[in-house]
């Protein structure tokens, strides 16, 4: 069986040590702040990025670079490797289309090469969990086609519950109206959002107050996991430079599900540009969305 590599994009929010240990190839997505583009050699730390947003800088985001995609895939193909690429949701970015196009071009130029591009229809560690499962299956001896089939069958079981601290970041991204952002902020309304079956981030309700919003996403997660609890799959808490709140959510999850298999990580800038400082998400394997 021909060897293969698993690749993804930087929006998957996997821990750096996991990426390094498992040799995951990462194709960057980009963001621009005050005329400087970040994502390749130039990067901000999460703290620097979110602090810039707090002081009023409004980043813009860009999908993956076709030239970088081609170079990445060509490098693996030249090593005699097949590629399984798991992408950020096509409903949230043009990155999936860019990768699919680049993969097709490289395969056309290199007969015998195999590059499978899968749309995770997910974001942040929702995508990351799909990649972690792919790694687990590979280490169990499964082939690239078998893993791809498993992901296509089960990817809608990877779920995301999300809340943000500042409605105006959602308003900038067209998720809520300006009036909703103004009124909601005045009365301390916090939105609950989910990634739906189409891979889009959509509103799923509102609650009053920050602590209530954090408890709500945990309760929603518990209900959705139900009998689908997978002991091998981690529950991931992601945050927009709000570690204290992320740890609070992790404790709520431990109390509800009696698990210590929890990963906490920061939301990457190209997602955080839209969700803002203080955003909190839970990513997990559960019942189908």
CATH class of 157-285: alpha beta
Q: Cβ(84)–Cβ(147) under 8 Å? A: yes
Assign 2 a pLDDT band (cuts: 50, 70, 90).
confident
CB neighbour class for 258 (10 Å; exposed up to 12, middle 13-18, buried from 19): exposed
Distance CA 90, CA 142 (A): 26
Task: Write down the pLDDT at residue 191.
Answer: 87
Residue 44: C-alpha distances to residues 14, 23, 41, 88, 206 (Å): 17, 23, 10, 21, 32
Distance CA 128, CA 149 (A): 17
Contacting residues for 126 by C-beta, under 8 A, at least 6 apart: 120, 158, 159, 160, 195, 281, 283
pLDDT, tens digit, 9 for 90 and up, residues 32-75: 999 999 998 788 999 999 999 999 898 999 999 999 999 999 99
Is the pLDDT assigned to residue 76 strictly greater than 50? yes
CATH architecture assignment, domain 4-155: 3-Layer(aba) Sandwich (3.40)
What are the domain boundaries of the chain? Answer: 4-155, 157-285
Query: What SS3 state is found at 220?
Result: helix
Q: Give mean pLDDT, residues 95-109.
A: 97
Task: Write down the pLDDT at residue 185.
Answer: 53
Residue positions counted in the chain:
289
pLDDT, tens digit, 9 for 90 and up, residues 186-211: 557 888 999 999 999 888 988 999 99
What is the rounded average pLDDT for all residues in the chain? 92
Q: Cβ(245)–Cβ(212) under 8 Å? A: no
Task: Write down the pLDDT at residue 182.
Answer: 44
pLDDT, tens digit, 9 for 90 and up, residues 230-288: 778 999 999 999 999 999 999 999 999 999 999 999 999 999 998 999 999 999 999 98
Assign 169 a pLDDT band (cuts: 50, 70, 90).
low
Distance CA 117, CA 104 (A): 9
pLDDT, tens digit, 9 for 90 and up, residues 105-121: 999 999 999 999 999 99
């Amino acid at each position: 069986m021909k060897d293969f590599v698993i690749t993804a994009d930087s929006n998957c929010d996997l821990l750096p040590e996991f990426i390094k240990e498992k040799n995951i190839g990462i194709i960057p997505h980009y963001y621009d702040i005050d005329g400087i583009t970040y994502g390749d050699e130039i990067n901000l730390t999460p703290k620097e990025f979110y602090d810039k947003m707090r002081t009023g800088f409004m980043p813009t985001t860009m999908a993956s670079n076709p030239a970088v995609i081609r170079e990445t895939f060509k490098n693996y193909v030249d090593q005699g490797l097949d590629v399984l690429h798991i992408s950020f949701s096509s409903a949230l970015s043009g990155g999936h289309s860019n990768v699919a196009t680049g993969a097709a071009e490289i395969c056309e130029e290199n007969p015998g090469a195999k590059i499978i591009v899968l749309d995770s229809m997910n974001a942040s560690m929702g995508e990351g969990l799909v990649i972690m499962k792919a790694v687990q299956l590979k280490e169990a001896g499964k082939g690239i086609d078998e893993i791809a089939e498993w992901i296509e069958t089960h990817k809608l079981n990877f779920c995301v519950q999300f809340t943000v601290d500042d409605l105006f970041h959602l308003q900038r991204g067209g998720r809520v109206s300006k009036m909703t952002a103004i009124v909601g902020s005045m009365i301390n309304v916090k939105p609950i959002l989910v990634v739906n079956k189409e891979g889009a981030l959509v509103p799923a309700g509102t609650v009053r107050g920050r602590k209530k919003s954090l408890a709500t996403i945990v309760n929603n997660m518990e209900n959705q996991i139900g009998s689908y609890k997978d002991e091998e799959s981690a529950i991931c808490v992601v945050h927009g430079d709000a570690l204290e709140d992320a740890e609070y959510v992790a404790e709520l999850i431990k109390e509800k599900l009696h698990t210590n298999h929890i990963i906490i990580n920061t939301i990457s800038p190209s997602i955080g540009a839209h969700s803002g400082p203080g955003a909190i998400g839970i990513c997990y394997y559960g019942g189908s969305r």
